[in-house]
Chains A and B, each alone.
Chain A
Amino acid sequence: MSATVLPGTVVPAQHVNLKLGPGLVQRSDAGEAGPSIITTRTGTLNHSSNGSKWWVESNSRRYVPAPQESVIGVVVQKVGDGFRVDIGAAHSASLDGLAFEGATKRNKPNLKIGCLVYARVSLAHKDMEPELECFDAQTRKSEGFGEVKGGFLVRCSLKMCRNLLDPKHFLLPLLGARFPLEAAVGMNGRVWVNAKEPKQIIAISRCIEAVDPDGGGIDEAGIKAFLGTLDI
């Protein structure tokens, strides 16, 4: 059940444990019915079946950092003990040198300028520099975070990244059935991919661009036909 909304639409969301997702804010108005829920984005309004979770589904290319999201960043500078990483947001993020698994003061990772890291946003506020971590907060183990070597970086829209992270989406299993591949999907519109041969990596990159809602949004049958024309 979804309706297209514009920013500023009042949403009739009422629940005891109401959770508001992206695109919704609560305005503590001194209105007749108390605080009201207003949309801040254009998109489709969705809610969970029991009405406790509401959100607005929209697409864009510019990332706004939010905590607990995994992102792919490019190291741009070494600052004292840590690094400054570009994640495609308004500010560069800071990544502490000790925020890696098994890092101590004597044993810090040696990241070069220009290398890619898969990290988790630990702190994000509107006007502050976001902070990144390269381990899972509870277990303090890397869980796949850290520097990623080789491969290639593909840029796509934010909706495409969310689609790729969805286990029910068709693209990555379809490509994985044809040849072995590795992928790290960042929520900031960047996907790192790796496969054995360059033409396989190029095929993945072109498929992601083709399925991206911004660039046409081809469906499964279209991608199968497209893969047939590529030489892999």
Chain B
Amino acid sequence: MRPPSPSIPEKDFLYTSLKESLRLDGRLPMELRTPTLTFGDDLGWVECSLGKTRVLAQVEGKMVKPPPERPYEGIITIHPEISPMASSEYEPGRPSDEEVTITRMLDKVLKRSDAVDKESLCILAGQRVWHIRLTLHFLAVAGNMLDCACLAGIVALKHFRRPDVEVIGDEVTVHEPTERAPIPLAIHHTPFCFTFAFFPDSTIPPVLDPSQLEQRLSAGLISIALNAQRELCVLQKLGGVPLEPDEVLKIVAIAVQKAKELNSIVDARLREDWEGRHVEVR
């Protein structure tokens, strides 16, 4: 059930205040909502919230037989699940345009950018590899689901620990987490996604991390995924207002700075959580 389009006063007011660089929730135009990361008891369970937008990510691993064309690599699959719990406009079973965009973008950012090393997931070539399954549940939508989902996904992958496996000849022994400490996944780099919204009036500057109303009334969105080492993974622009090259470069520069900040926040939170789980066995 699509919610109705925003009313004329809402539209006019949004454009008027954005012309004066005032956002409706009091943020600066290039300010990201502070992400809050909550870790669960299981390793690889994390709930990420950007303001009122909340996404839950969960990572599970199991051992499977690899496909014959790629016997030395593990398998990583990403499953975003959007249900009417997120918002009444999403129907179960029928993916809307936005869901398809998010699925494709998550695929590009987390899988095709080679964030996780697949060869390290191989246990016994041609016979046993790890299948890492990342499930994302969208709990609440208040604009910018994509950034929240990418953040939740990559933090869950960093948080997850797989059981230690010992291979002697052709025999594979999986050790329980209580016997041997589980091992983190080999992550090459940590990509973060930033979405900017553009408006039909070209005098209005772009805004970072659009809220629900800003996203509805935007003319186009541009999403940039990069890591803290200034390496660009994905740049996606789905239609909308045409942009000059220097505008795009300005946005990339802002995204680089935000990526560094976000990286330090994520690292600090992961370290804090890990200290809490530290168990000393005497």
Please list the residues of chain A having a beta carbon within 8 angstroms of any beta carbon in chain B. Answer: 74, 76, 86, 112, 114-116, 148-153, 192, 198-199, 201-202, 205-206, 230
Chain B interface residue count, CB cutoff 8 Å, equals 18
Q: A198-B16, A198-B20, A202-B17 in contact; A152/B26 too (CB < 8 A)?
A: no
Are the C-beta atoms of A114 and B25 separated by less than 8 Å?
Answer: no
Are the C-beta atoms of A112 and B8 separated by less than 8 Å?
Answer: yes
Closest to B5 in A: A114
Collect the chain A residues with CB atoms within 8 Å of residue B9's CB: 115-116, 148-153, 192
- Whether a CB of chain A sits under 8 angstroms from the CB of B12 is yes
Collect the chain B residues with CB atoms within 8 Å of residue A230's CB: 26
Q: Kindly name the residue among B4, B20, B26 whose own CB sees the greatest number of chain A CB atoms within 10 A.
A: B4
Are the C-beta atoms of A74 and B22 separated by less than 8 Å?
Answer: no
Those 3 A-B pairs whose CB atoms lie nearest each other, nearest first: A198-B17, A152-B13, A114-B8
Q: A114-B5, A198-B16, A198-B20 in contact; A153/B26 too (CB < 8 A)?
A: no
A149 CA to B13 CA, complexed, in Å:
11
- Whether a CB of chain A sits under 8 angstroms from the CB of B24 is yes
A203 CA to B187 CA, complexed, in Å:
44
Q: Per a CB cutoff under 8 Å, which of A112, A149, A202 touches B24?
A: A202
A149 CA to B10 CA, complexed, in Å:
10
CB < 8 Å A-B pair total:
49
29 contacts between A and B (CB under 8 A): A74-B7, A76-B4, A86-B4, A112-B8, A114-B11, A115-B7, A115-B9, A116-B9, A148-B9, A149-B9, A150-B9, A150-B12, A150-B13, A151-B9, A151-B13, A152-B9, A152-B13, A153-B7, A153-B10, A198-B13, A198-B17, A198-B20, A199-B20, A199-B22, A201-B13, A202-B22, A202-B23, A202-B26, A230-B26
User: Smallest Cβ distance from A23 to chain B, in angstroms?
Assistant: 24
Collect the chain A residues with CB atoms within 8 Å of residue B13's CB: 150-152, 198, 201
A198 CA to B23 CA, complexed, in Å:
10
A151 CA to B10 CA, complexed, in Å:
8
Please list the residues of chain B having a beta carbon within 8 angstroms of any beta carbon in chain A. Answer: 4-13, 16-17, 20, 22-26
A104 CA to B252 CA, complexed, in Å:
59
Collect the chain A residues with CB atoms within 8 Å of residue B23's CB: 202
Collect the chain A residues with CB atoms within 8 Å of residue B24's CB: 202, 205
User: Smallest Cβ distance from B223 to chain A, in angstroms?
Assistant: 27
Are the C-beta atoms of B8 and A152 separated by less than 8 Å?
Answer: no
A201 CA to B25 CA, complexed, in Å:
11
A79 CA to B17 CA, complexed, in Å:
33
Collect the chain A residues with CB atoms within 8 Å of residue B5's CB: 114
Collect the chain A residues with CB atoms within 8 Å of residue B7's CB: 74, 114-116, 153
User: Smallest Cβ distance from B146 to chain A, in angstroms?
Assistant: 23
User: Smallest Cβ distance from B77 to chain A, in angstroms?
Assistant: 36
A74 CA to B17 CA, complexed, in Å:
21
A198 CA to B9 CA, complexed, in Å:
12
User: Smallest Cβ distance from A167 to chain B, in angstroms?
Assistant: 25
A230 CA to B22 CA, complexed, in Å:
12
Collect the chain B residues with CB atoms within 8 Å of residue A201's CB: 13, 17
Closest to B8 in A: A114
A112 CA to B11 CA, complexed, in Å:
14
User: Smallest Cβ distance from B272 to chain A, in angstroms?
Assistant: 25
Closest to B1 in A: A90
A150 CA to B13 CA, complexed, in Å:
8
User: Smallest Cβ distance from B10 to chain A, in angstroms?
Assistant: 5
Are the C-beta atoms of A198 and B22 separated by less than 8 Å?
Answer: yes
Closest to A85 in B: B4
Q: A74-B4, A198-B16, A198-B17 in contact; A152/B22 too (CB < 8 A)?
A: no
Closest to A72 in B: B7
Collect the chain B residues with CB atoms within 8 Å of residue A86's CB: 4
Collect the chain B residues with CB atoms within 8 Å of residue A202's CB: 17, 22-24, 26
Q: Kindly name the residue among B9, B13, B22 whose own CB sees the greatest number of chain A CB atoms within 10 A.
A: B9
Closest to A192 in B: B9
A107 CA to B3 CA, complexed, in Å:
32
Are the C-beta atoms of A206 and B26 separated by less than 8 Å?
Answer: yes
A163 CA to B218 CA, complexed, in Å:
33
Q: Kindly name the residue among B6, B7, B13 whose own CB sees the greatest number of chain A CB atoms within 10 A.
A: B7
Collect the chain B residues with CB atoms within 8 Å of residue A205's CB: 24
Collect the chain B residues with CB atoms within 8 Å of residue A198's CB: 13, 16-17, 20, 22
A199 CA to B26 CA, complexed, in Å:
9
User: Smallest Cβ distance from A138 to chain B, in angstroms?
Assistant: 29
A126 CA to B37 CA, complexed, in Å:
42
Collect the chain B residues with CB atoms within 8 Å of residue A152's CB: 9-10, 13
